């Protein structure tokens, strides 16, 4: 469904709600079955009756957003405002709840509900979920309730959610998904029955889009079954945590010069690798997995201050979940927790990608690297004695590995 059609449809529902009519975003049968609307909430006491009646979602994202007092939260496609009001209650007077909606009529409805509830720590914004009118790193959590599936540019929606989240922030939404590739016949049957399937992504595609923009710790939990492969679901993910003024994001081609400069600076210490010269960017990218490359960057200048990347250890299928990683931090930015944050993000991304073993080789003399890896669950599994000559000297390498806590034993 095109953006303008979505806005007009929900504007009409908002006008009906303002006139006191009962509304349903999907089929009335699905609302009566408790699959959509306010049935998923157990904490609506004290909310205006109109806000509860105007709920058009497919779940309760507030319940999984782990909101804490003093935090800020953004609801994408806030509709009549029920999730904003519930969020405002959870973050308390020192926190802030934003609602974003493209329909002026929905915003009018939501503001009326906030006034009726006497809630002051809310702000309703007019705009598209593909272009959020908030600055970078503005909120601690992003929620949404059965809205992202309506967008025809979900990759941009998720990228915007990642952008406005602070490091360590949470993404927790309710949405409609399919349990496999779209089958036109099944999709049409579900759409005719529920009216809320258009645009729903397969679970795996949703997961891939989240990972591509930089989210880690991705969990998609199917909830209500609407038949024909269509489900409501809770979608959760996180933005990697790191210290103030920094951000961990996927590595880009525009980072090439800075990544290679940091690589060379590490090699120049004589303690990072047997290599002495950083490869070309083409050589670097050819040897690294495209979905497991991250940088830590200064949010003001964009300067890259560290990076981590993974490589396959073998093309044999039995080693599909085994990777080797490299991690380098700018020499002027070490001992600030950047390496730890990068490695933690890499581990989480590896878990999402089905990696069950991460390996690395460390010189015994590189005490900082040994300490970092051991702190994050790596163990020394052996010593490769006199494995190679480095600047004319035979050197040992400690082989370290970390096994996934979720892998089958």
**Distance of alpha carbon 65 from alpha carbon 62, whole angstroms:** 5
More confident residue, 68 or 228: 68
Where residue 409 falls among pLDDT bands split at 50, 70, 90? very low
Of 286, 294, 185, 208, the C-alpha closest to 249 is 294
DSSP for 146-206 reads S-GGG-S-HHHHHHHHHHHEEEEEEEEEEEEEESSS--HHHHHHHHHHHS--TTPEEHHHH
State how far the alpha carbon of 6 is from the alpha carbons of 178, 245, 278, 303, in Å. Answer: 20, 37, 51, 39
Flag whether pLDDT at 333 surpasses 70: yes
Mean pLDDT for the stretch of residues 196-219: 90
Question: Which positions ≥6 away from 61 have C-beta within 8 Å?
Answer: 75, 83, 143, 144, 145, 172, 173, 174, 234
Flag whether pLDDT at 77 surpasses 50: yes
Mean pLDDT for the stretch of residues 284-311: 96
Tokens describing residue 50 = 């109109």
**Distance of alpha carbon 19 from alpha carbon 397, whole angstroms:** 74
For the chain, give me the number of helices (H) and strands (E)? 12, 15
Flag whether pLDDT at 237 surpasses 60: yes
pLDDT of residue 37: 57
More confident residue, 188 or 332: 332
State how far the alpha carbon of 341 is from the alpha carbons of 178, 212, 348, 380, in Å. Answer: 34, 18, 11, 21
Domains of the chain: 3-238 (3.40.50.150), 246-403 (3.40.630.30)
Flag whether pLDDT at 200 surpasses 50: yes
pLDDT of residue 29: 55
Can you say whether the dihedral through the CA atoms of 356, 361, 365, 366 is positive or negative? negative
Question: Which positions ≥6 away from 306 have C-beta within 8 Å?
Answer: 262, 295, 296, 327, 328, 329, 330, 333, 338, 339, 342
pLDDT of residue 32: 46
pLDDT of residue 407: 58
Other C-beta atoms within 10 Å of 253: how many? 8
| Average pLDDT score, the chain | 89
pLDDT of residue 230: 87
373 membership: H or E segment, kind and range: helix 367-375
pLDDT of residue 25: 53
Burial of 36 (0-12, 13-18, 19+ CB in 10 A): buried
pLDDT of residue 330: 96
pLDDT digits (tens, 9 = 90+) for 266-291: 999 999 999 999 999 999 999 999 99
Other C-beta atoms within 10 Å of 103: how many? 23
Tokens describing residue 380 = 């020394």
Q: Estimate the share of the chain in helix, then strand, then coil, as percent rounded to the nearest 5.
A: 35, 30, 35
Mean pLDDT for the stretch of residues 197-216: 91
Contact indicator for 207, 281 with CB cutoff of 8 Å: no
Where residue 24 falls among pLDDT bands split at 50, 70, 90? low
Where residue 395 falls among pLDDT bands split at 50, 70, 90? very high
Contact indicator for 197, 169 with CB cutoff of 8 Å: no
Flag whether pLDDT at 28 surpasses 50: no
Where residue 326 falls among pLDDT bands split at 50, 70, 90? very high
Flag whether pLDDT at 117 surpasses 60: yes
Contact indicator for 172, 65 with CB cutoff of 8 Å: yes
Phi, psi values for residue 57, rounded to 5°: -80, -175
Mean pLDDT for the stretch of residues 24-33: 50
pLDDT of residue 193: 43
Of 57-61, 72-76, 175-179, 258-262, where does mean pLDDT reach its minimum? 57-61
pLDDT of residue 191: 54
Where residue 187 falls among pLDDT bands split at 50, 70, 90? low
Burial of 184 (0-12, 13-18, 19+ CB in 10 A): exposed
Where residue 67 falls among pLDDT bands split at 50, 70, 90? very high
- Report the percentage of the chain scoring pLDDT > 90: 72
More confident residue, 21 or 249: 249
Flag whether pLDDT at 157 surpasses 90: yes
Q: Do the strands 165-178 and 230-238 form a parallel or antiparallel pair, or are they unpaired? A: antiparallel
pLDDT of residue 99: 97
**Distance of alpha carbon 129 from alpha carbon 118, whole angstroms:** 26
pLDDT digits (tens, 9 = 90+) for 81-105: 999 999 999 999 999 999 999 999 9
pLDDT digits (tens, 9 = 90+) for 367-381: 999 999 999 999 999
Flag whether pLDDT at 34 surpasses 50: no
pLDDT of residue 179: 86
Can you say whether the dihedral through the CA atoms of 346, 241, 66, 230 is positive or negative? negative
pLDDT of residue 241: 98
Where residue 310 falls among pLDDT bands split at 50, 70, 90? very high
């Amino acid at each position: 469904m095109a953006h303008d059609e979505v806005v007009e449809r929900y504007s009409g529902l908002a006008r009906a709600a303002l006139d006191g009519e009962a509304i349903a975003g999907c089929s009335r049968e699905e609302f009566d079955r408790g699959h959509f609307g306010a049935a998923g909430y157990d904490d609506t006491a004290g909310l205006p009756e109109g806000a509860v009646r105007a709920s058009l979602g497919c779940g309760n994202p507030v319940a999984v957003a782990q909101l804490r007092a003093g935090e800020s939260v953004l609801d994408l496609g806030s509709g009549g405002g029920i999730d904003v009001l519930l969020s405002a209650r959870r973050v308390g007077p020192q926190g802030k709840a934003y609602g974003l909606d493209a329909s002026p009529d929905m915003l009018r409805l939501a503001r009326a509900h906030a006034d009726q509830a006497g809630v002051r720590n809310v702000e309703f914004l007019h705009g598209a979920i593909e272009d959020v009118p908030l600055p970078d790193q503005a909120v601690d959590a992003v929620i949404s309730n059965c809205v992202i599936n309506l967008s025809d540019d979900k990759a941009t929606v998720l990228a915007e959610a990642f952008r406005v989240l602070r490091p360590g922030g949470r993404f927790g939404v309710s949405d409609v998904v399919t349990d496999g590739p779209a089958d036109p016949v099944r999709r049409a049957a579900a759409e005719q029955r529920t009216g809320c399937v258009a645009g729903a992504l397969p679970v795996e595609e949703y997961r891939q889009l989240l990972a591509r923009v930089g989210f880690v710790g991705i969990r998609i939990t199917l909830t209500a079954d609407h038949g024909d492969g269509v489900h409501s679901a809770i979608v959760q993910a996180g933005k990697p945590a790191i210290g103030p003024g920094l951000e961990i994001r996927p590595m880009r081609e525009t980072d090439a010069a800075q990544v290679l400069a940091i690589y060379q600076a590490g090699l120049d210490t004589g303690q990072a690798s047997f290599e002495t010269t950083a490869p070309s960017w083409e050589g670097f990218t050819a040897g690294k997995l495209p979905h497991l490359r991250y940088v830590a960057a200064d949010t003001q200048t964009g300067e890259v201050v560290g990076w981590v990347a993974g490589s396959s250890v073998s093309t044999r299928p039995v080693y599909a979940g085994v990777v080797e990683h490299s991690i380098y931090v700018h020499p002027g930015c070490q001992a600030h927790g950047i390496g730890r944050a990068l490695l933690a993000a890499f581990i989480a991304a590896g878990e999402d990608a089905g990696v069950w073993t991460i390996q690395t080789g460390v010189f015994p003399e590189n005490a900082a690297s040994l300490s970092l890896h051991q702190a994050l669950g790596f163990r020394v599994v052996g010593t490769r004695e006199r494995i190679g000559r480095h600047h004319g000297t035979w050197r040992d390498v400690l082989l370290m590995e970390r096994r996934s806590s979720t892998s089958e034993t």
